[in-house]
Structure 1
């Protein structure tokens, strides 16, 4: 006859051997009815104690990194592109995104740099065409008034005029 064997792969939620996450879950689930306000939420002092317990247990198991010190001193040192500088497109480039105009050739057209989209909230991102250029041109098919439109370009697609 065989003897019964008891195997346990994980501790129960309410057992004293539970993990940090299970302790947080059991402490949340064991809140009594007197801890709740009339709307069904945990009272403010109990909630703040619970938040403090969660923060303290999270800080014990996680390392924090301060990214403020690792940021470059200034964007201008790394990026010589000046916002507002006048530029001229030097490569054959056709765009198709202007309403009521089938296509526009940008080669030789002049514009102004409005934004460097490769830097977002102080961090560098991988923009394929990082420079947002504003063009104000009279376009055939759009009347006599000049049309303002934007195009995103790479640095090797334009020359500085100023």
Structure 2
């Protein structure tokens, strides 16, 4: 399967396209002919862009962490986003993994804190309060 979004012959037929060809293309396409065709297409018009890039199939990481797993925060960690509480220390609190945000529309993204964890804490005068915090894998342990 080719990683190109279109062939060089099809590019010649499409005069209203600007074409960008990646030099890191790993497919069997002829880079020099596509570059020449791209130059001709760029001269014709600059309305659409087609890129020849390697398709990366994002597959979820095979980890033991599942959505719904109970976790306990093992590092000193303070959050400031819970309403009407200035500072809340999450150290030792238990929560539930609700979402893995390292994938978006089937593609891997560079989320620094990929695990969305829901916590429930009792606040004096308010009762139980649910809130979320985004954590890294090394900041919590499975319960």
CA RMSD of aligned residues (A): 2.3
Residue segments in structure 1 that go unaligned for 5+ positions in a row: 1-51
Give the TM-score normalised by the residue count of structure 1: 0.55
Structure 1's consecutive aligned runs of 4 or more residues displaced over 6 angstroms after TM superposition are: none
Q: Secondary structure at the match of 2:138?
A: helix
> 2-side partners of 1:139 and 1:118: how far apart?
31
1:42-80 Cα deviation digits (max 9, x unpaired): xxxxxxxxxx5314x64831652361xx314x3143x44
Q: Which residue of 1 aligns with 2:74?
A: 90
Question: Highest Rg: 1 or 2?
Answer: 1
Number of aligned residue pairs? 103
> 2-side partners of 1:63 and 1:107: how far apart?
47
Q: Which structure dedicates a bigger proportion of its chain to helix?
A: 1
Give the TM-score normalised by the residue count of structure 2: 0.61
Residue segments in structure 2 that go unaligned for 5+ positions in a row: 1-13, 20-33, 39-49
Of structures 1 and 2, the one scoring higher in RCO (CA 8 A, sep 6+) is 2
Q: Which residue of 1 aligns with 2:65?
A: 81
